[in-house]
């Protein structure tokens, strides 16, 4: 999907819903004045602290009495807030390039659309968001950066992809979108790190309709984008076992998410992207 088309579709999807304000959750480690966050009260209602003035502070914000004691100018903050940030990770394993039997939108295409739509919705609410591992930001410049960054995500040669556990930050809200059909060991490491740091987030599994229902019959060769293959003369005879394995995988993902303080959900590419957006809004705003 071209970057311009992705941005236009994401803008339309985000505009259909209210700006997404992240609700209260695990306290982040960073402290920043203003914006949405959790107030950390000091000693009573009159808690305040001094900080050095920086570019953008008005003259009326400066405490001139305190500043007169030296060469620096100080601002007296009436409160401080623990800033919340959101991080986005998209699985890019070769299988995410699968477009289904109809050969339309790939799983990665839909993942990019969901990720950018949600990012724009967060930015509209003044939240700070970035791709996992990048510095979070807000405003028009960050929206443009995310648009370019998400559009540039392309499938890998190999089937597997995993989020870097070292990239998680304390109190962060992480949105992870993938088909989650490969080995889960690296994802388990990531989930444990999320739990250790008091972070939270969502695992969203995206699958094509034929991956949901396994409508195949007769003699078929199944091939992965990474080069693995399996030949069968009776694809229909595999349906029951396949669906059972898929359900087992989803139960495992659900348990993993709960243990890490996260939420697991699914999205079928045969359904409108708006369904995923509405669900994500409800989950993230309720955390």
Domain-by-domain residue ranges, the chain? 3-28+83-285, 41-79
Pair of tokens at residue 199: 């972070």
Question: Cα(83)–Cα(29) distance, rounded to whole angstroms?
Answer: 8
Q: What is the mean pLDDT of each run of 10 residues along the chain (287 residues)?
A: 91 94 51 36 40 65 73 59 81 91 88 98 95 95 96 91 93 94 94 92 94 66 63 62 90 94 95 96 78
- For residue 223, what pLDDT is reported? 63
- For residue 54, what pLDDT is reported? 63
Task: Please tell me the pTM assigned to this model.
Answer: 0.77
Instruction: Please compute Rg for the chain using Cα positions.
Output: 22
Question: Cα(276)–Cα(270) distance, rounded to whole angstroms?
Answer: 11
**Hey, what CATH class is 3-28+83-285 in?**
alpha beta
- For residue 67, what pLDDT is reported? 73
The residues with which 210 forms a beta bridge, in sequence order, are none
- For residue 215, what pLDDT is reported? 63
- For residue 228, what pLDDT is reported? 66
Sheet containing 262-268, strands listed edge to edge, beginning at the edge strand earlier in sequence: 128-131, 85-90, 173-178, 200-207, 262-268
Question: Is 112 strand, coil or helix?
Answer: helix
3-state helix, strand, coil split of the chain in percent (to 5) is 40, 20, 40
Picking from 36, 37, 32, the residue whose alpha carbon sits closest to that of residue 56 is 32
């Amino acid at each position: 999907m071209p970057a311009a088309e992705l941005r236009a579709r994401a803008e339309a999807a985000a505009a259909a819903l209210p700006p997404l304000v992240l609700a209260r959750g695990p306290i982040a480690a960073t402290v920043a004045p203003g914006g949405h966050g959790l107030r950390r009260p000091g000693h009573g209602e009159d808690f305040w602290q001094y900080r050095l003035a920086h570019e953008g502070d008005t003259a009326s914000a400066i405490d001139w009495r305190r500043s007169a004691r030296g060469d620096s100018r100080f601002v007296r903050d009436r409160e401080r807030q623990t800033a919340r940030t959101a991080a986005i990770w998209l699985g890019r394993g070769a299988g995410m390039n699968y477009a289904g039997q109809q050969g339309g939108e790939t799983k990665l295409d839909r993942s990019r659309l969901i990720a950018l739509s949600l990012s724009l919705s967060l930015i509209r609410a003044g939240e700070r968001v970035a791709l996992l591992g990048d510095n979070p930001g807000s405003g028009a410049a960050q929206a443009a950066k995310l648009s370019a960054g998400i559009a540039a995500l392309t499938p890998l040669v190999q089937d597997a992809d995993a989020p870097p556990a070292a990239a998680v930050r304390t109190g962060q809200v992480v949105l992870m979108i993938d088909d989650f059909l490969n080995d889960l060991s690296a994802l388990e490491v990531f989930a444990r790190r999320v739990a250790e740091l008091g972070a939270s987030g969502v695992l969203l599994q995206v699958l094509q309709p034929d991956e949901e229902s396994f409508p195949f019959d007769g003699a078929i060769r199944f091939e992965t984008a990474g080069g693995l293959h399996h030949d069968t003369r009776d694809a229909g005879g595999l349906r029951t076992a396949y669906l059972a394995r898929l359900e087992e995988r989803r139960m495992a993902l659900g348990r993993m998410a709960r243990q890490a303080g996260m939420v697991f959900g699914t999205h079928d590419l045969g359904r409108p992207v708006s369904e995923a957006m509405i669900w994500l809004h409800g989950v993230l705003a309720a955390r």
